[in-house]
C-alpha cells in the first residue's frame, strides 16, 4: 500500500511538472501546446540515451534533457511564428507524432519500438521503499523548484509582459513589447520543463519507449491543468495530483461494477474518466484555483 | 460474474477484518490466493486482451470448483494495460501493492512487459508473459519471468522453411514496426537465402486504413510468397488489399493475426489459402481442447492458450511449494513444467496428483512448456494451419 | 516509375475522397462554432457501428445503412454539443476542444462496452480490382468515390441554394450580422453540428465499407482528417475537400518516396509549409 501511494505520488509529481509546463505556455502565454507528449519524449530519450549508452552521470543526462526540450521548443516555436494561434495546436500535435514516429522507426538512433531498458535509476532499486521515497523527494524537489521559478517569473516584469501579450497582442506590441520574443521564451521554457519531466520519468521507471508518449498523456495533462486552474502554478500542480488520484480511483469503481466482463470494466473506467472531466470543466470552468489578479478571458 | 464480484467484496472485507484480528504469520494463509491479469483491453492490443483475461478467469473457476489450491480459492483480478507501458506500469503497481497478487499473467506488448519486469522482480511477484521480443528474457529478472511465446528468431526461421516448402523463391516480408520486425526478417532472410531464394521487406504504418500503394510496392518485386508480420486489424487491411491487387501467390501469417476474428471479418474467398503458424502442443492435446471448450471456439488463439498454461503452471507451482508467494512460484515452476513426472494437461489433474505426493510434468495448450534458466521455452512445436472455406484447418503439427 | 506514381496518385485521390467527408463535417462545425471538435473520430466510429447494425443485423441495403449512419451520428453529435459541450463554451474554444476529447473517449468506450474490440465487417463481397492500362482500381473504391462526390455536391448545393444553408454561411461569416438579419444562430449551430456530425458518421461508414470496423476506426483517421481541414483552411468547406485530396495524395506518395511509416510526418510538414506561405490555409478566409 505504501509503495503504491509513493509510486502514484512520483507519477503525480511527473504529471505536475508537465502540468506546469502546459500552464506556462498555455495559461500564461496563450500558446496551445498539443505536443506536450513530444517534448516529454525528447527529454526522456535525451537523458536515457546519454546515461544508458554513454554512461554519462544522471545529472548530465537530466541537464541535457532540459536543454534538448528547450531547443525542441524553440524549433517548433520558430517554425510556427507566422502561424495563427489556432494553427499552433495542429503543428505541435504533429510534432509529438513525428517524435513518436522517429523514435519507433529510426532504430539505429533510438532503439526503435524496443525502447531503451535498464536506464540508470537515481536511488538504488534494492533499497526497497527508499527507492520510491528517495525518488519522490527528488521529483517533489523538482516540482517545487519549477514552482518557485514560475512564481518569480510571474511576478517579474517578464511575467507581466507575458500576460499583457496574452490579453491583447496589439496593445502589447504598441507598448513596445516584442511579442515574438516573449512567446518563444515562454514556449521554450515550457518545453524544457517537459523535458525535465521526461528525464525524471525515465530514471524512475528504468525504461523509455515510444508507446509511453501517446497523445493520451497530453490529454491527461490538459485535464489536470484545466481542473486545477490554468493560470496559476499551484492550480496546475494540484490538478496533476488530483488527476492521478482520480485515474486510479476509477480502477476501483470499475471493479465493483456488477456483471461486466474485464473488457466492459475497462471501458466503463474510461467512460468515467471522460465524464468526470466534463463535469469538472462544467462546474469549475476556471479550475479549482482560478487566476487571482483578473478573470481569465473567454478567448 | 456477479457472484465473483460479490465474493471479491466480501473477500476484501473478510481479509481486512482478518488482518486486524490475526497475528502476522497467519495472514498470508487465509482468504483467497490472488492473481492478476494485465492484458490490453483498450488501445491497439485490444483485440487480444479480453479473450486472455476471460480464459484465465474461466480456468481459475474450474480450479476453484475442484477445490482450489491448498484448500484456498483463486481470485483473479483483471487490469487493463491500455497497450501503454505508462498505464501498464500503474496498473501493475496497483495489482502488486493493493491487491497483493502473487503473480501477474499475460502482459502482451513487449514495451509493457519491459516496463513491468523490474517492478515485478523487485517486489517478488512472478510474471508470465506472451511478448515475443528477443531481449525481454535478457532483462535482469532474477528468475521471476517466464514466457511461452517462442522467440521471434525461431518464428522467422520457421516462416522461411514454411515458405520454402511451398516452393517460394522470392519471399516478401510485410510488417508494421514492432520490436521483433528486424530479428524476424533477419532470420527469415537467412533461411531463404541459404536455399537460394531472396527476400524483400516493407514496413508499413499499421494505422493506415488502406495499404494499396504499399501492396503495389511489394508486388513490384514479384514475390511468390508474402509473410505478414502484423496483428489482426492491420493484417485484415493488408489481406484485403492483396486480394484486390490480384495477388495469387501464397500468403503466410502468424496464428495470432490470421485468427478466427480475421477470417470471420473477411469474405471466404479473400482469406482462402492463407497459411498460418502458431506455437502448439503435440497432436491430440487435451489442454488445447480445454481452452477451446472454455472459450467455446474451435481454434482458440495462441495468446489465450498461453495464458491458460500460465495459470496452470502457477497454480501447480504454488501447490508444490505449499505457499502462495511469487518466490514460491519462481522456485517451483520448473518442478511442474519439466523434468519428468506424470504428464498432466490441466491444473485440476495436476493438483490432485501433487496432493498425493506425485511429481507432475505439465504439457500445455501452447506447447510442452519447458523453460530455460532465463525463462524462454526450450522447445516449441508449431501448428501449421491453412484457411479453407472460411475455416482455419490444421495441416500438421511439427 | 511513372506508372507507380500515377497509381499512387489515384490511390491518394480515393483516400482523399474518404477523408473529405469527415473533414467537411469537422470544418463545418468549426466554421459555425469556432472550436476544433475532436469527437469527430469517435462519431465516425459510432456511425460505422450503427450502419453495421442496420446492414448486418437488420439486413438493410448499404445505401439505407449509410442514411441511418448519417441520422444517428447527427443525433449523437447534436446531443453531445447541447448535452455537454455548449456549457463549456464560457471557458473559451479550447475548453470545448478538451471537452470534445473527453467525449471522444466516452463514445469510443460505449462502443467498446457493447460491441467489444473484435473486427466486424459489412455484408459485402470483395471484388478484385479493375485494370485500366497501368492503373488498377477497385469497384468498391469507385462506388465509395461516387458516394463521396455525391455527398460533397449535396452539401455544396445545400449551402448554396437552400435558405438554411445560406443562413449557415451567414452565421459562419459573421454571427452578429446574421443575428441582425433575424437568423437564429443557436438553431443554425444546431443544424450545423447535426449535419457535420452526420457527415462524420457517413465517413466512418465508408471507411468501414472499404476495410472493417473496430472501436479505433475513427481514431485512426482523426489526425489525417484534422490535417486535411487545417491544410484547406479551418472553417472553409471547399478548403476541407481540397485539403483532404492533398493529404490523401501526399500520404500515398510518401510510401513511394520515403517510407510508409512517415506518412503523418510528411503530412504535417506539408501543412507547415503551406501555412507559412498562406497563413490561413489553402482556401481559408483571413478571419481569425
pLDDT at B42 over 80: yes
The chain A residue lying nearest C118, using CA atoms, is A263
Domain residue limits, chain C: 22-220
| pLDDT tens, residue by residue, C50-85 | 999 999 999 999 999 999 999 999 999 999 999 889
Q: Taking CB atoms and an 8 Å limit, are C275 and A83 in contact across chains? A: yes
Is the confidence metric ipTM above 0.95 for this complex?
Answer: no
Q: Which residues pair with C133 in a beta bridge?
A: none
Q: State how far the Cα of C232 lies from the Cα of C282, in Å rounded to an integer.
A: 5
Predicted local confidence at residue A259, as pLDDT: 82
Predicted local confidence at residue C112, as pLDDT: 96
pTM of the model as a whole: 0.91
Burial of A55 (0-12, 13-18, 19+ CB in 10 A): exposed
* Domains contained in chain B, CATH given: 1-28 (no CATH), 29-151+285-362 (3.40.50.2300), 152-281+381-397 (3.40.50.2300)
Q: State how far the Cα of B121 lies from the Cα of B134, in Å rounded to an integer.
A: 19
Are B273 and B386 in contact by the 8 Å Cβ rule? The answer is yes
Chain B neighbors of A209, CB-CB under 8 A: 85, 111, 114-115
Q: Does A262 touch chain B (CB under 8 A)?
A: yes
| pLDDT tens, residue by residue, B218-238 | 999 999 999 999 999 999 999
Pick the residue of B40, B244, B268 with the most C CBs within 10 A to test the interface with C by mutation.
B244
Are B162 and B252 in contact by the 8 Å Cβ rule? The answer is yes
Long-range contacts from A147-152, C-beta under 8 angstroms, 24+ separation: A147/A20, A147/A233, A147/A234, A147/A237, A150/A20, A150/A23, A150/A24, A150/A233, A151/A233
Predicted local confidence at residue A175, as pLDDT: 66
Stretch A176-186: mean pLDDT: 80
Tell me the nearest-neighbour CA distance from A92 into chain C, angstroms: 10
Find all residues with CB under 8 Å of C180, minimum gap 6, and list them: none
Tell me the nearest-neighbour CA distance from C8 into chain B, angstroms: 6
The dihedral of CA B77, B78, B79, B84: what is its sign? positive
Better-predicted residue by pLDDT, B185 or C281: B185
| pLDDT tens, residue by residue, B365-387 | 999 999 999 999 987 889 999 99
Q: Taking CB atoms and an 8 Å limit, are C8 and B213 in contact across chains? A: yes
pLDDT at A296 over 60: no
pLDDT at A83 over 80: no
Q: Taking CB atoms and an 8 Å limit, are A256 and B50 in contact across chains? A: no
Are B274 and B386 in contact by the 8 Å Cβ rule? The answer is yes
Least confident residue range of A36-50, A81-95, A164-178, B12-26: B12-26
Closest partner residue to B47 (CB to CB) among C8, C12, C118 is C118
Chain B neighbors of A129, CB-CB under 8 A: none
Are B222 and B169 in contact by the 8 Å Cβ rule? The answer is no
Long-range contacts from C84-91, C-beta under 8 angstroms, 24+ separation: C84/A278, C84/A282, C85/C37, C87/A282, C88/A278, C88/A281, C88/A282, C88/A285, C89/C35, C90/A285, C90/A298, C91/A226, C91/A281, C91/A285, C91/A286, C91/A296, C91/A298
Predicted local confidence at residue C285, as pLDDT: 65
| pLDDT tens, residue by residue, A27-63 | 888 888 889 999 999 999 999 999 999 999 999 999 9
Q: State how far the Cα of C38 lies from the Cα of C88, in Å rounded to an integer.
A: 14
Q: Taking CB atoms and an 8 Å limit, are A97 and C227 in contact across chains? A: no
Q: State how far the Cα of B206 lies from the Cα of B204, in Å rounded to an integer.
A: 6
pLDDT at B12 over 50: no
Chain B neighbors of C124, CB-CB under 8 A: 267
| pLDDT tens, residue by residue, B326-343 | 999 999 999 999 988 899
Q: State how far the Cα of B4 lies from the Cα of B57, in Å rounded to an integer.
A: 10
Amino acid at each position: 500500500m505504501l509503495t503504491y501511494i509513493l509510486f502514484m505520488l512520483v507519477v503525480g509529481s511527473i504529471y505536475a511538472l508537465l502540468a506546469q509546463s502546459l500552464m506556462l505556455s498555455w495559461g500564461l502565454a496563450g500558446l496551445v501546446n498539443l505536443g506536450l507528449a513530444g517534448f516529454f519524449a525528447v527529454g526522456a530519450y535525451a537523458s536515457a540515451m546519454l546515461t544508458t549508452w554513454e554512461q554519462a552521470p544522471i545529472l548530465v543526462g537530466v541537464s541535457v534533457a532540459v536543454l534538448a526540450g528547450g531547443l525542441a521548443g524553440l524549433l517548433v516555436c520558430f517554425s510556427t511564428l507566422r502561424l495563427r494561434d489556432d494553427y499552433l495546436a495542429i503543428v505541435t500535435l504533429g510534432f509529438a507524432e513525428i517524435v513518436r514516429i522517429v523514435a519507433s522507426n529510426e532504430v539505429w538512433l533510438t532503439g526503435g519500438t524496443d525502447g531503451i531498458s535498464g536506464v540508470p535509476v537515481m536511488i538504488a532499486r534494492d533499497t526497497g521503499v527508499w527507492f520510491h521515497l528517495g525518488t519522490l523527494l527528488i521529483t517533489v524537489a523538482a516540482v517545487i523548484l519549477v514552482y518557485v521559478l514560475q512564481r518569480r517569473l510571474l511576478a517579474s516584469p517578464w511575467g507581466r509582459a507575458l500576460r499583457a501579450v496574452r490579453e491583447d497582442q496589439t496593445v502589447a506590441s504598441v507598448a513596445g513589447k516584442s511579442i515574438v520574443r516573449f512567446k518563444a521564451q515562454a514556449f521554450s521554457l515550457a518545453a524544457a520543463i517537459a523535458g525535465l519531466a521526461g528525464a525524471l520519468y525515465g530514471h524512475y521507471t528504468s525504461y523509455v519507449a515510444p508507446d509511453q508518449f501517446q497523445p493520451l498523456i497530453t490529454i491527461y495533462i490538459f485535464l489536470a491543468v484545466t481542473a486545477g486552474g490554468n493560470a496559476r502554478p499551484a492550480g496546475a500542480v494540484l490538478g496533476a495530483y488530483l488527476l492521478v488520484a482520480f485515474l486510479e480511483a476509477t480502477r476501483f469503481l470499475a471493479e465493483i461494477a456488477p456483471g461486466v466482463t474485464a473488457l466492459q470494466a475497462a471501458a466503463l473506467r474510461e467512460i468515467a474518466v471522460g465524464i468526470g472531466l466534463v463535469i469538472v470543466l462544467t462546474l469549475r470552468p476556471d479550475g479549482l484555483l482560478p487566476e487571482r489578479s483578473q478573470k481569465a478571458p473567454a478567448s | 460474474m456477479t457472484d465473483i464480484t460479490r465474493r471479491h467484496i466480501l473477500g476484501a472485507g473478510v481479509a481486512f477484518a482478518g488482518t486486524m484480528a490475526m497475528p502476522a504469520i497467519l495472514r498470508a494463509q487465509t482468504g483467497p490466493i490472488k492473481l492478476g491479469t494485465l492484458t490490453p483491453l483498450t488501445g491497439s492490443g485490444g483485440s487480444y486482451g479480453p479473450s486472455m483475461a476471460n480464459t484465465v478467469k474461466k480456468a481459475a473457476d474450474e480450479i476453484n470448483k475442484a477445490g482450489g489450491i491448498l484448500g484456498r480459492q483463486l481470485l483473479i483480478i483483471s487490469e487493463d494495460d491500455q497497450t501503454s507501458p505508462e498505464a501498464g506500469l500503474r496498473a501493475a503497481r496497483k495489482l502488486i501493492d493493493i491487491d497483493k497478487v502473487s503473480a501477474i499473467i499475460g502482459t502482451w506488448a513487449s514495451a509493457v512487459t519491459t516496463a513491468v519486469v523490474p517492478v515485478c522482480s523487485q517486489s517478488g511477484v512472478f510474471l508470465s508473459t506472451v511478448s515475443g521480443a528477443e531481449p525481454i528474457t535478457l532483462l535482469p529478472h532474477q528468475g521471476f519471468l517466464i514466457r511461452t511465446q517462442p522467440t521471434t528468431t525461431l518464428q522467422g526461421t520457421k516462416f522461411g522453411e514454411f515458405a520454402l516448402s511451398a516452393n517460394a523463391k522470392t519471399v516478401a516480408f510485410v510488417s508494421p514496426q514492432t520490436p521483433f520486425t528486424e530479428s524476424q526478417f533477419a532470420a527469415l532472410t537467412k533461411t531463404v537465402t541459404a536455399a537460394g531464394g531472396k527476400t524483400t521487406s516493407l514496413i508499413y504504418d499499421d494505422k493506415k486504413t488502406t495499404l494499396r500503394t504499399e501492396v503495389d510496392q511489394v508486388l513490384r518485386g514479384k514475390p511468390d510468397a508474402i509473410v505478414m508480420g502484423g496483428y489482426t486489424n492491420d493484417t485484415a487491411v493488408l489481406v484485403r488489399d492483396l486480394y484486390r491487387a490480384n495477388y495469387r501467390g501464397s500468403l503466410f501469417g502468424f496464428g495470432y493475426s490470421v485468427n478466427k476474428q480475421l477470417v470471420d471479418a473477411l469474405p471466404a474467398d479473400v482469406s482462402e489459402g492463407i497459411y498460418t503458424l502458431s506455437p502448439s502442443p503435440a497432436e491430440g492435446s487435451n489442454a488445447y481442447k480445454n481452452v477451446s471448450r472454455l472459450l467455446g471456439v474451435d481454434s482458440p488463439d495462441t495468446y489465450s492458450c498461453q495464458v491458460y498454461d500460465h495459470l496452470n503452471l502457477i497454480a501447480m507451482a504454488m501447490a508444490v511449494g505449499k505457499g502462495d508467494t511469487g518466490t514460491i512460484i519462481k522456485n517451483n515452476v520448473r518442478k511442474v513444467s519439466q523434468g519428468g513426472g506424470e504428464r498432466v494437461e490441466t491444473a485440476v489433474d495436476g493438483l490432485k496428483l501433487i496432493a498425493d505426493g506425485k511429481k507432475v510434468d505439465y504439457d500445455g495448450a501452447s506447447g510442452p512448456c519447458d523453460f530455460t534458466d532465463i525463462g524462454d521455452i526450450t522447445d516449441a512445436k508449431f501448428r501449421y494451419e491453412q484457411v479453407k472455406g472460411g475455416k482455419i484447418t490444421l495441416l500438421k503439427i511439427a | 516509375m511513372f506508372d507507380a506514381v500515377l497509381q499512387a496518385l489515384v490511390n491518394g485521390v480515393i483516400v482523399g475522397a474518404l477523408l473529405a467527408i469527415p473533414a467537411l463535417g469537422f470544418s463545418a462545425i468549426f466554421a459555425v462554432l469556432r472550436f476544433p471538435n475532436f469527437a469527430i473520430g469517435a462519431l465516425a466510429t459510432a456511425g460505422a457501428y450503427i450502419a453495421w447494425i442496420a446492414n448486418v443485423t437488420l439486413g438493410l441495403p448499404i445505401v439505407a445503412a449509410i442514411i441511418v449512419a448519417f441520422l444517428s451520428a447527427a443525433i449523437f453529435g447534436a446531443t453531445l454539443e447541447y448535452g455537454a459541450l455548449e456549457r463549456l463554451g464560457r471557458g473559451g474554444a479550447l475548453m470545448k476542444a478538451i471537452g470534445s476529447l473527453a467525449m471522444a473517449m466516452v463514445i469510443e468506450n460505449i462502443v467498446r462496452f457493447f460491441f467489444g474490440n473484435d473486427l466486424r465487417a459489412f455484408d459485402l463481397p470483395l471484388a478484385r480490382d479493375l485494370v485500366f492500362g497501368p492503373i488498377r482500381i477497385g469497384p468498391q473504391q469507385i462506388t465509395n468515390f461516387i458516394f463521396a462526390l455525391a455527398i460533397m455536391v449535396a452539401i455544396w448545393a445545400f449551402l448554396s441554394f437552400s435558405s438554411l444553408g445560406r443562413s449557415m454561411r451567414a452565421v459562419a461569416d459573421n454571427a452578429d450580422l446574421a443575428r441582425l438579419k433575424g437568423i437564429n444562430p443557436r438553431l443554425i449551430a444546431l443544424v450545423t453540428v447535426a449535419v457535420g456530425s452526420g457527415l462524420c458518421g457517413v465517413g466512418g461508414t465508408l471507411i468501414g465499407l472499404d476495410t472493417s470496423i473496430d472501436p479505433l476506426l475513427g481514431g485512426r483517421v482523426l489526425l489525417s482528417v484534422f490535417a486535411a481541414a487545417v491544410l484547406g483552411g479551418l472553417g472553409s468547406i471547399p478548403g476541407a475537400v481540397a485539403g483532404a485530396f492533398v493529404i490523401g495524395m501526399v500520404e500515398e506518395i510518401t510510401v513511394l518516396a520515403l517510407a510508409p511509416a512517415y506518412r503523418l510526418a510528411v503530412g504535417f510538414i506539408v501543412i507547415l509549409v503551406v501555412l507559412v506561405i498562406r497563413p490561413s490555409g489553402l482556401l481559408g478566409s483571413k478571419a481569425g
